[in-house]
Amino acid sequence: MASEENFMRAPAPSPKRTIYTEAMEIFHRAADLIGLDKRVRLELEEPDYEHIFYVTAKLKDRLVPLAPEEAKAFSDLSVTQVRNPDGLERLADGKIILNGRALLGSDVNIRRGHLRLPDGGVYQLVPGESQRFKAYRVQHNQARGPYKGGIRYHREVSLDLFKALAAEMTWKTAISEVPFGGGKGGIQIDPRQYGREELENITLRFMYKLKSMIGPNIDIPAPDVGTNGDIMALMYRQYSDGERERHNMRGIVTGKDVRIGGSEGRVKATGQGVVYCIEDYYADRGETVKGKTFTMQGFGNVGSHGASILSTLGARLLAVNDADGTIYNGDGIDVQALMAYVSDPKNLKRTVAGFPGAQKIEKKDLWDIQADMLIPAALGGEITADIAERLKVKLIAEGANGPTTPEADRVLQKRGIDLIPDIIANAGGVTVSYYEWIQNKRMERWSEAEVDQRLEKAMKRNYRIIRDISRNQPRKTEMHDSRPYCIGKTVDPRCAAMILALKRIEAHYLLEGFSQ
């Protein structure tokens, strides 16, 4: 029997390898190299706050399709003519949500809880129940300004993952010189399995619970995987509902629709930022993007806009992999047609799979395609050491957060494959989020050209500083000054980016001191 002493005692912490410890490897390497102040290191090693909370919502009734075998038992069930087909909302998993009064006034033929729709399928009517979802917000560091970072709706999330992503935001906001710290959060949910109104209810409840922890000058969420401007609009409404000065609260979230205080150029900003870095990478070598080929993983916000801008500049997209398939066309994929295909409301999974302008290949074959660049723009940890050994590209521009594992990083260096690391490559999103936040504060509205111009300068200036740190080439030009950041020896680009972040963050602690 356990002694009373041991009762309810937490096991001693063991040094486990986790997503967070992996992500922090580069932090420790850069911190060692620059001799980061010990107390600053302790401040940055763990987040300021880690919130875990729960969100409940009442789901709607669903029609769940029967497999053809099971449906045989209902072969003589006559068709239910639905009077209000708009009330039926088809989901990517084949289920159908019954919205409002979908079946009201219809001639409903139900047998043992089953009905047949005009599409011929037999469906089981499953009553909606309440469900609980796990939610997170990690606030990593605010030395440079309010916490800032996206909201992810995805099945595979965890505190460990959000800690890593929140820390990434701390580095990224420092690198892009915006006056923010780092945060990240979201809900453990596959949003494609829920209807519009269900997602609205879940989001409102999420913000209801989040409200006490965030604010336009405290912590500012934005879209990430599985969320978008629609979700941001709901979050804004819920945060500001009934408040006397709600017009002053528009900056509570960024990534809003331009019609409700979003910034021009924000939707494409992350993809645009990736392309500004790529342009500068080639400009430095006396080359241009024109005629270059690329492959891509992920064709959501970052991937599709990045690909579209690159193709406008004359680069050719050869292959794309997403969550549901992989496509290839050696002559180049028509990116505009692919964007139209993916965003077609009939394409419930929003996938590239089945695109008529390309052939289907296996995901594993994506990594063997010869191209100038690979742009990962999906999830983290996808480029492993094995994959890095196989890649036949010359440059990886990380649109996604953390797509390359530390082992893969070492392989890429050994093989001489160049890298534009995530914390600069995909910083365009948070940079334009900052522009949105300023516009909200000042009640201004900037044109797309103005936003792009500022973004281009910011991305290229900071990317050039990182390149100079990497090459140990301290210099001051009209555009940038890398002298305070070079460390007297060359380092790989990921480490150089981290050095830039840490030196900028450290300055705050060293100059302002620590509040007691």
226 is an interface residue for ligand NAD by CB under 6 A: yes
Active site annotation includes 184: yes
Q: How would you label 444-479 residue by residue, b for 16+ Cβ within 10 Å and e otherwise?
A: eebeeeebbebbbebbbbbbbbbbbbbeeebeeeee
Residue 98 or 251: the one with the smaller Cβ distance to ligand NAD is 251
- How far apart CA 179 and CA 446 sit, in angstroms, is 19
Beta strands across the sheet bearing 96-98? 88-90, 96-98, 62-65, 122-126, 114-116
141 Cβ contact list (under 8 Å, min separation 6): 43, 44, 47, 48, 147, 167, 170, 181, 182, 505
- How far apart CA 423 and CA 284 sit, in angstroms, is 20
**Which span sits near ligand NAD by CB under 6 A: 50-58, 373-381, 439-447, 478-486?**
373-381
Number of other residues whose CB lies within 10 A of the CB of residue 397: 27
Residue 31 or 408: the one with the smaller Cβ distance to ligand NAD is 408
Residue 379 or 466: the one with the smaller Cβ distance to ligand NAD is 379
Closest approach, Cβ 15 to ligand NAD, in A, equals 27
Out of 157, 378, 491, 499, point to the residue binding ligand NAD (CB under 6 A): 378
Out of 195, 216, 399, 493, point to the residue binding ligand NAD (CB under 6 A): 399
3-state SS class at 145:
coil
321 is an interface residue for ligand NAD by CB under 6 A: yes
Q: Are 373 and 396 in contact (CB under 8 A)?
A: yes
Q: How is residue 367 written in tokens?
A: 């990594």
How many residues in the chain? Answer: 516
Out of 97, 377, 387, 396, point to the residue binding ligand NAD (CB under 6 A): 377
Q: Residues 60, 148, 172, 184: which is the catalytic one?
A: 184
493 is an interface residue for ligand NAD by CB under 6 A: no
**Which span sits near ligand NAD by CB under 6 A: 309-317, 399-407, 462-470, 502-510?**
399-407
**Which span sits near ligand NAD by CB under 6 A: 81-89, 141-149, 321-329, 465-473?**
321-329
Out of 301, 308, 311, 404, point to the residue binding ligand NAD (CB under 6 A): 301
3-state SS class at 277:
helix
Residue 195 or 229: the one with the smaller Cβ distance to ligand NAD is 229
Q: What angle do CA 168, 173, 176 make, to 5 degrees?
A: 120
Q: How is residue 168 written in tokens?
A: 């990434």
DSSP string of 438-470, one letter each residue = HHHHHT----HHHHHHHHHHHHHHHHHHHHHHH
Over the window 206 to 225, marking each residue x when it contacts ligand NAD by CB under 6 A and - when it does not, the resulting string is -----------------xxx
151 Cβ contact list (under 8 Å, min separation 6): 185, 186, 187, 221, 222, 223, 224, 227, 231, 235
299 is an interface residue for ligand NAD by CB under 6 A: yes
Residue 82 or 378: the one with the smaller Cβ distance to ligand NAD is 378
323 is an interface residue for ligand NAD by CB under 6 A: yes
Out of 322, 372, 468, 506, point to the residue binding ligand NAD (CB under 6 A): 322
254 is an interface residue for ligand NAD by CB under 6 A: no
Residue 103 or 320: the one with the smaller Cβ distance to ligand NAD is 320
Q: Are 322 and 306 in contact (CB under 8 A)?
A: no
426 is an interface residue for ligand NAD by CB under 6 A: yes
Binding site for ligand NAD (CB under 6 A): 223-226, 270, 297-303, 321-323, 377-379, 399-401, 426, 429
Catalytic residues: 184
